[in-house]
A and B are shown apart, each in its own frame.
Chain A
């Protein structure tokens, strides 16, 4: 079955630097992959979706890459700010009725 691996260790970076988070999957390549932000005690907030035929997607300070050969997606936040501190979740389509398979998320802390 499909498994998703996100770095379980928290990522601490300095304000202004670029944060890079990794999402690896183990089985079939999904039709699309999504990144969400989740703050403590809140529901996830959709950030970006990237399809299997797209190599890269950008939205303001966010950039997502999708490498189906490596079975990996990278999520970048450039010019990071303390407000970017949150848990970032990677989710893949399960190939069935828009159900998603979720990673555990990576906690990001941006220090001022």
Chain B
């Protein structure tokens, strides 16, 4: 079946630095990828929709200059958390939509801890 890979699974960074998280669709082309964050015992919160070859669409309240999204190819989208702060510590998850169907596949998620 379709597989979405995220890297890194875990990352610890110092406050003020930037961190990049990669999301790859391994066996299908994804024109659309989604980035979520999830706090403990909370629902998934959509941050932005990443469209290949165009600018990402951010949800209300999400700072586009802080969470930079790049979707340069049909199999890779990246999320860069710039000038990270402890409150950015969270579980970040990407998902990718395969073709024209409605099935969406999720990556394993990336735990970010900012110290």
Chain A interfacial positions (CB closer than 8 Å to B): 32, 34, 36, 41-46, 49, 89, 93, 97-100, 102-105
Contacting residue for A104 out of B6, B32, B43, B91, CB 8 A: B43
B104 touches A43 (CB 8 A): no
Contact for B106 among A32, A43, A103, CB less than 8 A: A43
Chain B residues within 8 Å of A102, by CB: 43-44
Q: Write the chain A residue with the least CB distance to B110.
A: A43
Number of interface residues of B (CB under 8 A): 24
- Which interface residue of A89, A93, A102 has the most chain B CB atoms within 10 A? A102
Indicate if the CB atoms of B43 and A43 lie closer than 8 Å: no
Q: Are A99 and B103 in contact (CB under 8 A)?
A: no
Provide the residues of chain B in CB contact with A45, threshold 8 Å: 106
A99 and B102: CB pair below 8 A? no
Please report the number of residue pairs spanning A and B whose Cβ atoms sit closer than 8 angstroms.
51
Contact B102 A98 (CB under 8 A): yes
Q: Is B67 an interface residue (CB 8 A)?
A: no
Given contacts A41-B91, A43-B6, contact A105 B43 (CB under 8 A): yes
Interface residues of B, Cβ cutoff 8 Å to A: 4, 6, 32, 34, 41-44, 46, 49, 57, 91, 93, 95, 97, 102-109, 111
A-B contacts, 21 of them at CB < 8 A, read A32-B102, A34-B102, A41-B109, A43-B6, A43-B107, A43-B109, A44-B95, A46-B103, A46-B105, A49-B102, A49-B103, A89-B44, A98-B97, A98-B102, A99-B34, A99-B49, A100-B34, A100-B46, A100-B104, A102-B43, A104-B42
| Cα-based distance from A36 to B44 in the complex (angstroms) | 12
Q: Once bound together, how far apart are the Cα atoms of A49 and B107, in whole Å?
A: 18
Interfacial chain A residues near B104, Cβ < 8 Å: 34, 46, 98, 100
- In the complex, what residues of A have CB within 8 A of residue B109's CB? 41-43
Contacts of A103 in B (CB 8 A): 43
Contact of A44 among B44, B46, B97 (CB under 8 A): B44
